[in-house]
Structure 1
Amino acid sequence: MALVPYDDSGVPGLKRFHDSLATYNFASHTIRIRQDWKQLGVAAVVWDAAVVLCMYLEAGGIDLRERSVIELGAGTGLVGIVAALLGANVTITDREVALEFLKANVRDNVPSDLHDKVSIRPLTWGRSLENFSTFDLIVGADIIYLEETFPDLLQTILHLSLEHTVILLSCRIRYQRDQNFLSTMKGHFTLAEVHYDSSTDVHIFKAQKKAPKEDL
């Protein structure tokens, strides 16, 4: 997510983002996520899409044990933290400017005996992708929202995935451009909605790369 301040004056639904801590219970752990809305903006708070995706993972939507997982646009790192607590080997990524904040949340919530299962790395979509290999699972919560990032996001997902890779994208569909991005993904991936949380209007889409067509 972009690290930009957001003017929330007069928007009561956003007041919860002013809390310095957001507390959740996942994978038999109490997770306390630091938030910093005023200084860091939308990437430094927990959005509903992240919570819904954590609920889906905890419910066994996919087996995470010993799987390699990468979280894109991690923000506070909640999804990556939960994936690690559920047994995955997790690479949590965001832009360089977000990493110190992200590291603090991981350090506070991942037990010391699991530290070797988590790495935190800078990743700007579309750049220096040669530094990353492929993964069993790619996760992203509310990363489909800035149209200018869509080509780089798609390029990044393509680079990180093989045919067996599962991609889980959790988001609200706010604009037609969001649907357009999902339609573009269908040119490269099979794509299906696997969960909808009506209380938050959050969708989870599952994608897998299509097999290359054989030459006749």
Structure 2
Amino acid sequence: MALVPYEETAGVGLQKFHKPLATFSFANHTIQIRRDWSQLGVAAVVWDAAGLLCTYLEMGAGRELRGCSAVELGAGTGLVGIVAALLGAPVTITDRKVALEFFKSNVQANLPPHIQPNAVVKELTWGQNLGSYSPGEFDLILGADIIYLEETFADLLQTLEHLCSKRSVILLACRIRYEWDNNFLAMLERQFTVSKVHYDSEKDVHIYKVGFNL
């Protein structure tokens, strides 16, 4: 959702993100994700939260994904949506317009032809073009490292409220970097039931399960 490139001088630790390809193994498939740091900055990086969320989905995520309508918010490279589709979910993979063609190429390159019709790439700017999505349209709402810009929180919460029904489950994987990240969790708790279902201490990534009736 939020495209905020780091400065080139941000440090050697970020140099690994500049490599043009990253390879993963999920759902019995080898997935090669194209990255373009110079074009999209942090949106073109597969962060640890995305990989951990994919692992959680692969392990079952507390529900059957086959036939479960899913949407990924702030898709960036599209990895989470790709894995959800490989696991059998009809999935809508979304981000701002500027990122669509970039991650659409990853979707097309990594999904077998018979699965590609189940993966729709679609624009979604939080808090804006919500009319093109039916209220409560999805069973599963996915977001990996989308909680980090305080100015987007109100729009993100509005979007989650629009997409979520009484039956929906939201899975958010994130690293808590700043105090305002906790503020967003507090905002969520005013509207939803929030529970932490996994924490990876090595990567310092949390997965939260969010919904009206957990």
1:176 aligns with 2:179: yes
Quick one: structure 1 residues 63 and 210, their matched pair in 2 at CA, closer, same or farther if it must change by over 3 Å? closer
1:115-126 correspondence runs (5 A) = 115-126=116-127
Task: Read off the aligned partner of 2:84 and give its amino acid letter.
Answer: A
* Moved >2 Å (runs of 4+): 1-5
1:192 aligns with 2:192: no
Mean Cα deviation higher: 1-10 or 42-51: 1-10
Partner residue in 2 for 1:206: 209
Q: Distance in 2 between matches of 1:135 and 1:16?
A: 35
1:46 aligns with 2:46: yes
SS of 1:186's equivalent? Answer: helix
Partner residue in 1 for 2:110: 109
Partner residue in 2 for 1:24: 24
Q: Distance in 2 between matches of 1:130 and 1:193?
A: 31
Q: How many correspondences in the alignment?
A: 211
Quick one: structure 1 residues 58 and 210, their matched pair in 2 at CA, closer, same or farther if it must change by over 3 Å? closer
Work out the percentage of aligned pairs sharing the same amino acid: 62
CA deviation after TM superposition for structure 1 residue 8, in Å: 4.0
CA contact (8 A) 1:188 1:210 kept: no
Q: For 1:121-174, what per-residue CA distance to the aligned partner results, in whole angstroms no more than 9, with x for missing partners? A: 000000121210210000000000000000000000000000110000000001
**Normalising to structure 2: TM-score of the pair?**
0.96
CA contact (8 A) 1:22 1:35 kept: yes
CA deviation after TM superposition for structure 1 residue 3, in Å: 2.6
**Normalising to structure 1: TM-score of the pair?**
0.95
CA deviation after TM superposition for structure 1 residue 10, in Å: 5.4
How well do the aligned residues superpose, as a CA RMSD in angstroms?
1.2
Q: For 1:56-96, what per-residue CA distance to the aligned partner results, in whole angstroms no more than 9, with x for missing partners? A: 00111232110000000000000000000000000000000
Task: Read off the aligned partner of 2:160 and give its amino acid letter.
Answer: I
Structure 1 alignment gaps of length 5 or more: 212-216
CA deviation after TM superposition for structure 1 residue 210, in Å: 5.2
